[in-house]
Structure 1
Amino acid sequence: MSAPAGETDGAPDARGDLRNELSQLSTEVVAEDLRDLDLRSTAEMAAAMNAQDRTVADAVAALTPAIAAAVDAIVERMTAGGRLIYIGAGTSGRLGVLDASEVPPTFGTDPSLVIGIMAGGPTAITSAVEGAEDDADAGANDLRAVHLQPTDVVVGLSASGRTPYVAGALAYAASVDALTVAVACNSNSRIGALAKHPLEVVVGGEFVAGSTRLKAGTAQKLILNMISTLTMVRLGKTFGNVMVDLKVTNEKLRARAERTIMSVTDASSERAATALVAADNSVKEAILAIRGSLTPDQARQLLADHHGFLRAALGAASA
């Protein structure tokens, strides 16, 4: 008896295996208390969705020790000259690209320091690329294309924790001794098993079953926020909790930079603005020049002597 049209040898069994695998994932669970969702009022739906969303932060909180350990390991690699590379597919990949793109303006880094790579390439950021997430070799090849080094860090992102593209990327990263981190929303995940630092945040079934752009996406974004922000703090990109390495690229950011200088130095708005211009828009150098009574060149050199750490440079200036 011939196989049904469109089926090839082994395909039905493979799909059956995949269906069985997906049925075991917490992110695929259908919430029984939401079976009547489409019969509810909009206000009732909004309240129910918000109730689910409120559980996400607590799920991430349980992972903070593991996240901190991953950040410390990332900082060690980046201090040695490595890069932070996010790689994922679908919503997870887009979140990685988003977080990577926010680091340069926030912390004044070179765009090559934190990179977001997505299955299917740039086109996939706004449009689905069929089959891209199923290609494990593509994950490895995309890391080869950016010349992955042992000093680099690869953070694999997959809500299901099983995405072949991400698994292939992490396996390749491990083979060249890059540091590996996995962010998944299921326990005992495939990508978690491939990573030195598995970060598995279990948020359970989604408001719309299987739509991992919801709670799973929120959880991944919170973890990415922590990874990039805490790493940059450890690399000296803030002074306390204020941005002192931001790039002044528009009037809003210029005003923020001036306010930062004023808050750290108690300088007037006029002096802060003048110091910022004299320091070629470097907030750190402007602060150091004012508080240390230094010329811009002296401030720049002292900051370089302390590897960009403003607090250490201020200590030396007042010694």
Structure 2
Amino acid sequence: MKNRIRALFRRRFNSWLDKRSPRCSEITLNQRRIFIIPSSAGLGFAIMLLGLLLLAINYQNNLIFALCFWLFSIFLVAILHTYANLSGLLLRAGAAEPVFAGELASFHLHLEAGRRDRHRLNVGFPNQQMEVCDIDAEMGAANVIIKYPTQKRGALRPGRMEVTSRYPLGILRCWSAPSLDWHCLVYPRPRCLRPLLNSADSGEGHIPDRSNDSDEFSGFNRYQAGQSPRRIFWKAYAKGQGLLVKQYEQSQADELILDWDSLEGLSVEERLSTLCAWALDCDKQGLAYGLKLPKLSVPSGSGSGQLSKVLRELAVF
């Protein structure tokens, strides 16, 4: 019963937050998005004030009255300073690099301080490790990387993050829960459950060497980012002729196709994990390869661009 009530309260609170602070790529914290509640130390402080007040009333002691009201004024001033530490802070969603399922996704957060210094800011996702940062008004901005665990492949939207502060006294907790427009691509977890068969080979499965006899040398090209270092013509580089790469014409008979249909008997996720492992192995060896999925084909190619294209199709399949 308690869990149901708690879940119902959480759903209604999140729905209220969605209306008050919708998803966006950039947000500035203001009074509509900042909340202040006493911390555990603040509750103890309030109980102490109540005890002092009762003691002062009981004994009609002016000195205790003065101490009680002086501490209460400190509590009120702390509310203003705690709120000011978050008010006006600008948050902007940065990039998020693709990861494999089971790894921690890294989301880049850009913070701009505005006109005042920011102290002891805790930023992160709920129930995850929080990152602590300070921002100097003269520096103006800071970049923080916050982590989020991934469990399954696909497009990941982490939901609301938290920005909290207990500055300056720790007796108040000032927090906000902005929803930034983050998304991260999660690739399948690579698991090679079956060996890759060369399409021209009817024997035992293996990944052929890129420099086999069926590949004919066709000349040199200028090196481009992402091409395999195995193809670089180092002798030319040693002579000061720049980075050149060897080009080969691969026979169609030896064309490598990562074929979905060759993995019969495996589940959907097992097939995707195996295809992912094959693609990584082919890229490591500098092979040209293609991908064949139901209703989708990726032409044969090589390099980091080809790997990114193949892994993206596997992630969103």
* TM-score of the two chains, using structure 1 as the length reference: 0.29
User: Of the two, which has the highest radius of gyration?
Assistant: 2
Greater strand content: 2
Greater helix content: 1
* TM-score of the two chains, using structure 2 as the length reference: 0.29
